[in-house]
Chains A and B, each alone.
Chain A
Amino acid sequence: MNLMSTVIAGLSLGAIYALVALGIVILYKASEVLNFAHGTIAVLGAYVTARTVDILGFFGAVVAGVLAAALTALLIERLLVRKMANAPVVSLAIMTIGLEVILNTELTRQIGVDILELHQPWGTEAIEIFGALVPWNRILTIVFTFVIVLIFLAAFRFSSWGVSMRAAAEDREAAEIVGLKLNRIAIVSWATAGGLAAMAGIFLTGAPSAGLTSSLAVIALRAFPAAIIGGLDSVAGALVGGLIIGMVEAFAITFQPELSFLGLGLGDVIAYLVMFLVLLVRPQGLFGRKEVVRA
């Protein structure tokens, strides 16, 4: 494998992680929840797409998948997170772990040992870039993610949703006092995060991977180290964290023979190793804000 294709593989993998991590960051800012079920919501989106693709066609199925994921996230907010508004952050995180257990078990059971195909119209077509054969799926993933992240960076800065969300993340009580609708912010945030996760899931099942398998949730889980590395409260951090994880992983896979002293399957765990190193130096992540307290 040459260097160029490794870089592109890293970029596209990183873009997928960034999409999921972006959702994690949005939820953390909007509701102060670390949603452990977020990786599985990505799988859910891909699953619904795979199941409906024969009836609705690919783009119809994508809409269905994204809507299903957004709706699920919305229901989680309405039925569970809202009810626990006064619970400690750790209790909320554990609640989403319970949710993750249920969702993940059900999806694993539904998918079983099958490989579900999503029939992406670009299929396995590849294009040659600097002598490296790159699947279109990867190019599209990268382009889509960068556009999305740019939109979100702008939205956070300029849109009223972004401004009010930042205000809410800063100080919930003060935001409520000046008349911001925390309810509405939370609803928009959860639906958006769910939809983004579904898109990530759909890209993740495209070439070069064969389709949707039950092991996808383990891969999606690595968006969490990405979000942590970037800093849980930073949109730009989600992008950078995702790209770091994606790159490191792609290189670990390419250079597996040279790195064999570190064991087989290094690519599966190196994300966590990087996360450790970052947390050692910066406990709040690369772009996360350190809480300065004057006591």
Chain B
Amino acid sequence: MRNFISGPARWVVLAAAVVVALIAPLYLTAFWLQLLFSISAIAVGAIGLTLLTGTAGQLSLANPFFMVMGALTYVVMSSPVDETGKLIGFGLPPIVGMISGVAVAGITGLIFSPIASRLSGIYLGMASLGLVFLSLHILNNVTPVTGGYNGRRTPNFEIFGIVFGRSENPIVIGGVPFGRLEWLWYLGIICVVLGYIFAKNILRSRPGRALRLIAAGDLPASVAGVHVAGYKARIFFVSSLYAGLSGVLFALSIGSIAPQTFDLALALQFLAMIVIGGLGSVGGAVAGAAFVMSLPILLQSALSNIPLFSGGALTTAYLSKYVYGAAIILVLLFKPSGLAGMWDSLITRLARRKNSSSNTAVPPHQRK
């Protein structure tokens, strides 16, 4: 992309993107705002996972575990104090809840990082799978914190005096009253963009190169002077921070949380996202999240008129599982670089066409 759009054009594109992001809530319906926010919530977690699994080659299924840590901390910290004492709540400001949610996820990540740093590749995959099952078990049993099987409501987010929810006199911009979804849209975009930049910076710098070496093998990495265990522990920690934030946002997007939301199926969806997007690609993780999250909804609207699929034997919930399961396999077989790889080759092709029109010296076989 850097070669394709360069110089001032880059800034124009960037400015246009900012403007679109700013005015989007004026034009998008609640349905789309909801979908896009849940995509950005999940995308944050996918970015963290692609750093760990995609770049460093450390298979992890623990994302739902760290998400539920973040989500629960947020809900417990920021829920109003319950007089009956059935559910624990501290009534702290939501921003405090959010920060402590990320922090708690990070701390649990740190607690498990000694295990994570000693295990390689698929052993970590199994250990993290255990984390998901164990946390489900524990959380379903600590009802005062989690609400048990029924779950509990997520308190509205609130910052600078703006309540991300229904209020008596909402701010009206361009005739659109700004409520929960409109404000959440901005929150989601900001989190994804910050998460994207942070991840890109990691990958561009010394740690990024170290992580790629670790993916090539512990031995070559340590020969090159990389402290393998240290980097494995740190990237596990970073990915748990991402998952924690993702959990807080996810809780906000659903409006309530129950432990069983954060199960093995969600862990598998995360893997599908980063594989479809292209392992190790940050932009790809976001694209993969968009693909997997919108798949059931798009299938639903596309197939609702066909009798076989509408309420019949093959519901769209099943169908979307087949599609993303198949997508994982097909991408790994035929295009391991995923959506990110397709995007790159598209850009290269366009750039080449641009060059070849101005420069006739390009041999014919290179033109496509």
Interface residues of A (CB under 8 A from B): 34, 80, 83-84, 87-91, 93-95, 97-102, 105-106, 109, 224-225, 228, 232, 263-266, 268-269, 272-273, 275-276, 279-280, 283-284, 293, 295
Q: Smallest CB–CB gap between B83 and chain A, Å?
A: 27
Most chain A Cβ neighbours within 10 Å, of B133, B138, B279, B318: B133
Q: Is the CB of B57 within 8 A of A101?
A: no
B271 near A: Cβ within 8 Å? yes
B219 near A: Cβ within 8 Å? yes
Kindly state the separation between the CA atoms of A230 and B361 in the bound complex, as whole angstroms.
Answer: 63
Q: Is the CB of A269 within 8 A of B133?
A: yes
Kindly state the separation between the CA atoms of A232 and B222 in the bound complex, as whole angstroms.
Answer: 24
Q: Smallest CB–CB gap between B168 and chain A, Å?
A: 43
Which residues of the other chain, A, contact B279 by a CB distance below 8 angstroms?
91
Which residues of the other chain, A, contact B324 by a CB distance below 8 angstroms?
98, 101
Contacts A102-B322, A105-B322, A293-B219 given; does A276 touch B127 at CB 8 Å? yes
Contact of A97 among B58, B130, B328, B336 (CB under 8 A): B328
**Residue of A with least CB distance to B220:** A295
Contact of A102 among B129, B271, B325 (CB under 8 A): B325
**Residue of B with least CB distance to A274:** B130
B246 near A: Cβ within 8 Å? no
Q: Is the CB of A224 within 8 A of B333?
A: no
Kindly state the separation between the CA atoms of A232 and B126 in the bound complex, as whole angstroms.
Answer: 11
Q: Is the CB of B123 within 8 A of A95?
A: no
Contact of A224 among B126, B268, B313 (CB under 8 A): B126
**Residue of B with least CB distance to A228:** B126
Complex interface residues of chain B between 17 and 59 (CB less than 8 A to chain A)? 53, 57-59
Which residues of the other chain, A, contact B223 by a CB distance below 8 angstroms?
295
B87 near A: Cβ within 8 Å? no
Which residues of the other chain, B, contact A224 by a CB distance below 8 angstroms?
126, 129
Q: Can you list 23 pairs linking A and B with CB atoms under 8 Å apart?
A: A83-B333, A87-B336, A89-B122, A90-B57, A93-B121, A95-B329, A98-B272, A101-B272, A101-B325, A102-B321, A106-B322, A109-B318, A225-B126, A228-B123, A232-B123, A263-B140, A272-B131, A272-B134, A276-B127, A276-B134, A283-B119, A295-B219, A295-B222
Kindly state the separation between the CA atoms of A101 and B318 in the bound complex, as whole angstroms.
Answer: 10
B137 near A: Cβ within 8 Å? yes
Q: Is the CB of B332 within 8 A of A269?
A: no
Q: Is the CB of A95 within 8 A of B115?
A: no
**Residue of A with least CB distance to B54:** A90
B215 near A: Cβ within 8 Å? yes
Residue tally, chain B, CB below 8 Å to A: 47
Which residues of the other chain, A, contact B179 by a CB distance below 8 angstroms?
none
Q: Smallest CB–CB gap between B58 and chain A, Å?
A: 8
Q: Is the CB of B137 within 8 A of A269?
A: yes
Q: Is the CB of B130 within 8 A of A275?
A: yes
B72 near A: Cβ within 8 Å? no
**Residue of B with least CB distance to A103:** B325
Contact of A269 among B59, B134, B268 (CB under 8 A): B134
Kindly state the separation between the CA atoms of A270 and B138 in the bound complex, as whole angstroms.
Answer: 11
Contact of B275 among A94, A266, A276 (CB under 8 A): A94
Which residues of the other chain, B, contact A90 by a CB distance below 8 angstroms?
53, 57-59, 121-122, 125
B166 near A: Cβ within 8 Å? no
Kindly state the separation between the CA atoms of A295 and B53 in the bound complex, as whole angstroms.
Answer: 25
Q: Smallest CB–CB gap between A167 and chain B, Å?
A: 22
Q: Is the CB of A94 within 8 A of B271?
A: yes
B162 near A: Cβ within 8 Å? no
Closest 4 CB pairs of A and B: A98-B328, A272-B130, A101-B325, A263-B141
Contacts A34-B122, A273-B134 given; does A88 touch B215 at CB 8 Å? yes
Contact of B130 among A89, A98, A276 (CB under 8 A): A276
| Per-position binary interface string of chain B over residues 98-135, scored 1 when its CB falls under 8 Å from any chain A CB and 0 otherwise | 00000000000000000100110111011101110110
Q: Is the CB of B325 within 8 A of A87?
A: no
B351 near A: Cβ within 8 Å? no
**Residue of A with least CB distance to B216:** A88
Q: Is the CB of B321 within 8 A of A263?
A: no
Q: Smallest CB–CB gap between B211 and chain A, Å?
A: 13
Kindly state the separation between the CA atoms of A83 and B313 in the bound complex, as whole angstroms.
Answer: 33
Contacts A283-B118, A283-B123 given; does A99 touch B332 at CB 8 Å? no
Q: Is the CB of B137 within 8 A of A265?
A: yes
Complex interface residues of chain B between 303 and 359 (CB less than 8 A to chain A)? 313-314, 318, 321-322, 324-329, 332-333, 336
Q: Is the CB of B122 within 8 A of A275?
A: no
Kindly state the separation between the CA atoms of A94 and B274 in the bound complex, as whole angstroms.
Answer: 10
Which residues of the other chain, B, contact A295 by a CB distance below 8 angstroms?
219, 222-223
Most chain B Cβ neighbours within 10 Å, of A87, A90, A224, A263: A90
Q: Is the CB of A276 within 8 A of B129?
A: no
**Residue of B with least CB distance to A224:** B126
Which residues of the other chain, A, contact B268 by a CB distance below 8 angstroms?
97, 100-101
Q: Is the CB of B125 within 8 A of A98?
A: no
